[in-house]
Amino acid sequence: MSNQTPSSVPPILAEKHYDAPSVFDVANLMREARRQKNLPAGDIPSVCVLDPDGDLVEYLRASGRAHPHPAWACYHTTLDVVDLNGIPVGVVGRAVGASFAVLVAEELFVSGCQLLISVTSAGQITPLGEPPYFVLIERALRDEGTSYHYLPPAHYSLLPPTLRQHLWQDWNQQDVPLLLGSSWTTDAPFRETAAMIARCRDAGIATVEMEAAALYALATAKDYPIVCFAHVTNTMAVAGDDFEKGPDQGSHAILAVIAETIRCWSDARDDSHL
């Protein structure tokens, strides 16, 4: 056994060296995956979506609207492509949790993605309405591990301010209702205790989910445009008839949110804001 005294700093916070490059490089991984799988070269769609529940992907496949992208070289996922108002959009299903979502996000951006949208089912902390409804997550409590590999310790990760400004001020609320709020990102959904829920409610946090804090940390660290939405569908099953998303598991509403995000982002880019 070692005689060294363990550091008082927990491993999640130690030796992170935020300005140092990673030895394991995502571009190299994708290159080798493409070689091993004998995949063609080519960029993926400029707009991509993370669909942690997988319901949107299942709906798009069942309705014949989605097809796999031939150049997507990820070892773990399929990238489905759907035409949304004339724009090709890539969708990755079931990228659940902070570490998996960020792994896939890193691969998407190195493969040609220019805007990443995450729409995840979430639990209600502070009621903003009767579920289901959508919340644009403006900040996410960092109660997960992945964000601490990208940014120094802090309570919250933030939606990139310019992206927040243009989405919120240009959003078509009449056709696509949207709320603005904070989330609690957890790695352990079945450790949502009454005490922690009360603490989050006292802090004005609207919802709980599993990806946003890490995705926003990646966005800040690498200057990637990433926007996270919470699809508030449940009250953590403390009452009956929970987790109802609406027709086709909420797919039509989710597609409307995605389309409106693309419109706001495209308009802002045309005005040279993003």
Give the model confidence (pLDDT) of 121-152 as tens digits: 999 999 999 999 999 999 999 999 999 999 99
Q: What is the pLDDT of residue 231?
A: 97
Which of 76, 155, 93, 132 lies closest to 253 in space, CA to CA? Answer: 132
When pLDDT is cut at 50, 70 and 90, the band that residue 38 belongs to is very high
Its pTM surpasses 0.85: yes
Residues 183-205: b if buried by 16+ CB within 10 A, e if exposed: bbbbeeeeebeeebbeebeeeeb
In angstroms, the Cα distances linking 92 to 5, 47, 169, 171, 270 are 44, 11, 28, 24, 27
Q: Residue 206 and residue 133: Cα distance in Å, rounded?
A: 12
Length of the chain: 274
Domains and CATH numbers, the chain: 43-232+248-270 (3.40.50.1580)
When pLDDT is cut at 50, 70 and 90, the band that residue 274 belongs to is low
**Which tens digits make up the pLDDT trace of 195-206?**
999 999 999 999
Q: What is the pLDDT of residue 239?
A: 72
**Which tens digits make up the pLDDT trace of 4-13?**
556 789 999 9
**Which tens digits make up the pLDDT trace of 51-105?**
999 999 999 999 999 999 999 999 999 999 999 999 999 999 999 999 999 999 9
Strand residues in 144-235 grouped as ranges (E):
156-158, 179-186, 207-209, 226-234
Q: What is the pLDDT of residue 6?
A: 63
The answer on pLDDT for 233 being more than 90 is yes
Mean pLDDT of the chain: 95
- Paired sense of beta strands 207-209 and 179-186, if any: parallel
